[in-house]
């Protein structure tokens, strides 16, 4: 039941993201403060709903619910707790859900800490962030649903890829996503400025802390990923598996 609740929360999140992407823009062009004020409230609601969905998937991993296809393919009942949790994003579907969660997190951060922003700019920034969230949530629900059930659950899961059973998986992807996804706020500020037709020194001051935060997280994520790749895989200037897995048309002839 919790899995279905998480799935339903994700569907509601898509509906909220659509409202967040449409109503504030309409309010901007109609000069309607009430419609523009929808943006921060929708951002907070979006974060809540996506967090509920992510928590539901995490719960399925923690209790080893092997009626969920995603848990079957990426977990095992005897895995340590840290690898059960990190296994949530150790696959395509779960990592996309983590991506959507961080998108919603940054939108909610602008809604909470962007009190110094003009109403029109804040509404447009959050609307653009809503566009991005809408695209990712629609993609997850239509092609990468992490909540799919199986008719006959197996006794055990297939376990997580051994290479991913490392503390690096618990640290590297969240840090990297906080960096990558964090730059969506810089993109949202840029598009909002284009919509308003105004880019000035004040706009640069408003966007600067968000860019710095994303840059710090991305730097930390890349550094952690480099260290993880080095001690987990071993490399001498390149990852050894790239040399042997590359297709013939791009592999050196030797």
Q: What is the pLDDT of residue 63?
A: 93
pTM over 0.85: yes
pLDDT computed for residue 199 by the predictor: 81
Percent of the chain with pLDDT over 90: 65
Q: CB under 8 Å to 123, separation ≥6 — which residues?
A: 24, 25, 27, 28, 36, 37, 39
Measured CA to CA in angstroms, residue 139 lies from 23, 118, 134, 167 at distances of 22, 32, 8, 29
Return the structure tokens found at 35.
């419609």
> Do the Cβ atoms of 84 and 124 come closer than 8 Å?
no
Residue 251 neighbours by CB under 8 Å, 6+ apart: 243
- Distance of alpha carbon 146 from alpha carbon 61, whole angstroms: 11
pLDDT at 245: 45
Mean pLDDT of 66-85: 91
| The pLDDT of residue 140 is above 60 | yes
pLDDT the model gives residue 222: 87
Q: Which two tokens stand for residue 191?
A: 């598009």
Q: pLDDT band at 50, cuts 50/70/90?
A: very high
């Amino acid at each position: 039941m919790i899995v279905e609740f998480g799935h339903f929360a994700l569907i509601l999140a898509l509906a909220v993201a659509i409202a967040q992407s449409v109503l504030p823009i309409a309010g901007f062009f109609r000069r309607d403060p009430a419609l523009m004020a929808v943006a921060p409230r929708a951002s907070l609601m979006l974060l809540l709903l996506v967090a509920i969905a992510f928590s539901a998937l995490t719960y399925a991993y923690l209790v080893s619910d092997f009626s969920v296809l995603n848990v079957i393919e990426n977990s095992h009942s005897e895995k340590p707790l840290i690898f059960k949790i990190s296994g949530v994003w150790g696959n395509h579907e779960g990592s996309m859900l983590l991506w959507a969660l961080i998108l919603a997190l940054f939108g909610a951060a602008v809604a909470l800490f962007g009190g110094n922003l003009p109403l029109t700019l804040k509404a447009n920034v959050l609307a653009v962030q809503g566009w991005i969230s809408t695209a990712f949530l629609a993609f997850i629900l239509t092609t990468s649903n992490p909540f799919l059930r199986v008719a006959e659950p197996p006794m055990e899961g297939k376990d997580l890829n051994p290479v991913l059973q490392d503390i690096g998986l618990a640290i590297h992807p969240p840090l990297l996503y906080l960096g990558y996804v964090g730059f969506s706020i810089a993109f949202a500020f840029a598009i909002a400025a284009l919509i308003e037709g105004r880019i000035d020194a004040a706009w640069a001051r408003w966007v600067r802390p968000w860019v710095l935060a994303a840059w710090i997280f991305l730097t930390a994520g890349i550094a952690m990923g480099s260290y993880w790749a080095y001690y987990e895989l071993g490399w001498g200037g390149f990852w050894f598996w790239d040399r042997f897995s590359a297709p013939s048309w791009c592999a050196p002839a030797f």
